[in-house]
Structure 1
């Protein structure tokens, strides 16, 4: 277990990494990076609760489902500075180029977004907005559980991407700070917590939420393995892609009813 100072610093790093909240940065090293990635799902759950509240408020005010879903997705992007979406676009562009190693990493670093990245962004945002619109009509407890599940599962994918044995693609950056820092206990606790919440995401079907989380995480793990083979490790962009892919697929899984 981390000591109090390391835990506090890691919690601050988790909040500043996954949200726009102006938390004062503290100690930043691989130890605190590991704590931050271990707490990622908890930060995602808090973010999901806020998003669910906005979605339910819009639905209660009479907003059309797709409008309510789109506004909620826009708020999610605002509260995360759009960093995960940027990671999805950059990673998709790199993979779509069919290049590997340093050439693929150079594509990830470019500030522009190519056609593969644009397509990935449009599809992810559209699917998320439509799924959220569908979730808004459910009992509020199920809507809350579903949105919390999807946002927490997305950040849990980042935790899994930082498990021991996964290397960093570069000697600097977020990937170098957090790659290989998460142990099996943190993975087990985080996964169990997300699965427990997921059981309440679909009314009358306690199995569907956990199955959706498992399928989404499996897709994210496959993506991570593929990227590691192509570029030699993970980067901050890869973590962002894992988050968005898992969030989107979890939304789809819990929206089916």
Structure 2
């Protein structure tokens, strides 16, 4: 579990950790919700204690999470949006995603999802209960990886994060992940995975990052009514 923990923290956050001695992708994914706890805590504190308008607090939390992950998930969301709208050819889509540049579709996807997250987070600001709930949802959003990396879901490429993590999570745990994502969040992630498989033949590290951000936006919006 030590190697799994280091792999989870090193992959999902910008926190400095020693490199794992051996790759333990399944353990890393199981620990993913806990690995981002060091990011969820300051995010919750911003929502609870910072004396700023709620929407400003929401935007700051989006920024805190982006800094804490080296904006890796946002890069994945941008690349996936560009790849899925670039061509009906799988190789062309994968090539576009690998360029690292952000086209119109990628830019719009990032703005839209970040806006949804910030606006939803504003509903959790100002009270300890809302801030605590937002922190918990930030952790639970990483359960999206249990769906993307479910057994039977292939990698689109023979290299990269997709090749390391794809297909390693038992399907029952993927179902648990969908439930923890308020079901609706799980269905959204399932839709993303289905689209990636149909267009690219499988998932990539970019799809994993995109799933995290989409799942967070969805679950925040779904539960915002409670606050």
Band the TM-score falls in, shorter-chain normalisation: over 0.9
Written as runs of structure 1 = structure 2, the 5 A alignment for 1:238-257 is 238-257=207-226
**Contact map agreement 2:124 2:133 (CA 8 A) in 1:** no
Partner Cα separation in structure 2 for residue 163 and residue 181 of structure 1? 6
Q: Counterpart of 1:83?
A: 72
Q: Counterpart of 1:209?
A: none
Q: Counterpart of 2:143?
A: 156
Q: Counterpart of 2:116?
A: 127
CA shift for structure 1 position 186:
4.3
Work out which of the two has the higher radius of gyration on C-alpha atoms and give 1 or 2. 1
Q: TM-score, normalised by structure 2?
A: 0.93
Q: Counterpart of 1:16?
A: 10
Partner Cα separation in structure 1 for residue 113 and residue 177 of structure 2? 24
Partner Cα separation in structure 1 for residue 164 and residue 116 of structure 2? 32
Q: Which sections of structure 2, spanning at least 5 residues, go unmatched?
A: none
**Contact map agreement 2:32 2:142 (CA 8 A) in 1:** yes
Matched, 1:105 2:94: yes
Change (3 A) 1:47 1:186: farther
Matched, 1:177 2:164: yes
Q: Counterpart of 2:43?
A: 51
CA shift for structure 1 position 180:
0.6
Count of residues in Structure 1 that have an aligned counterpart in Structure 2: 226
CA shift for structure 1 position 256:
2.4
Q: Counterpart of 1:204?
A: none
Partner Cα separation in structure 2 for residue 185 and residue 232 of structure 1? 23
CA shift for structure 1 position 48:
2.1
CA shift for structure 1 position 50:
2.8
Q: TM-score, normalised by structure 1?
A: 0.82
